[in-house]
């Protein structure tokens, strides 16, 4: 088998395609979260604090003459929002999976206890 054929088999496997789709959607979702923070969270919730510090963006916060801790705070806010949204998505998926699971009927044979009793009785008779 040639290297091109092997690569083709690898590239079109479901896992690779799923991973590529996940990465692309994750990048788009990251842009949405960044926009949400910059255009909604910062103006609505952080505006008074930023105005008091004479700043327009949280990323501009600095200390000790150059330590940009505002970038860190922004990254933490991004992470919390992404983690919360992913939590909600996974919670919804798990709830949907629970509804899909149908209870399987119990097997119509002897129970484990009955089998153990039969084995015990057979061993006593030996």
* pLDDT for the residue numbered 86: 80
Which ranges constitute the DSSP H helices of 37-110?
Answer: 47-52, 69-100
Contact 70, 30 (CB under 8 A): no
Select the more confidently predicted residue: 57 or 114.
114
| Domain 3-103 is found in CATH 1.20.120.1080 | no
| Cα 59 → chain centroid | 26
The two three-digit tokens of residue 74, written as one number: 């922004």
pLDDT tens digits for range 34-76 = 788 778 877 787 778 778 878 777 777 788 878 888 888 888 8
Select the more confidently predicted residue: 93 or 24.
24
Residues 6+ apart with CB under 8 A from 119: none
- Name which of 103, 85, 81, 102 is nearest 93 in CA terms: 85
Q: What is the pTM of this model?
A: 0.51
């Amino acid at each position: 088998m040639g290297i091109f054929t092997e690569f083709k088999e690898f590239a079109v496997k479901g896992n690779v395609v799923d991973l590529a789709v996940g990465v692309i959607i994750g990048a788009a979702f990251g842009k949405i979260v960044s926009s949400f923070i910059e255009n909604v969270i910062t103006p609505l919730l952080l505006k008074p604090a930023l105005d008091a510090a004479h700043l327009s963006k949280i990323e501009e916060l600095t200390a000790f003459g150059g330590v940009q801790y505002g970038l860190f705070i922004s990254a933490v806010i991004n992470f919390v929002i992404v983690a919360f949204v992913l939590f909600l998505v996974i919670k919804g998926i798990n709830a949907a999976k629970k509804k899909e699971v149908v209870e399987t009927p119990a097997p119509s044979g002897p129970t484990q206890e009955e089998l153990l009793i039969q084995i015990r009785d057979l061993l006593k008779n030996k």
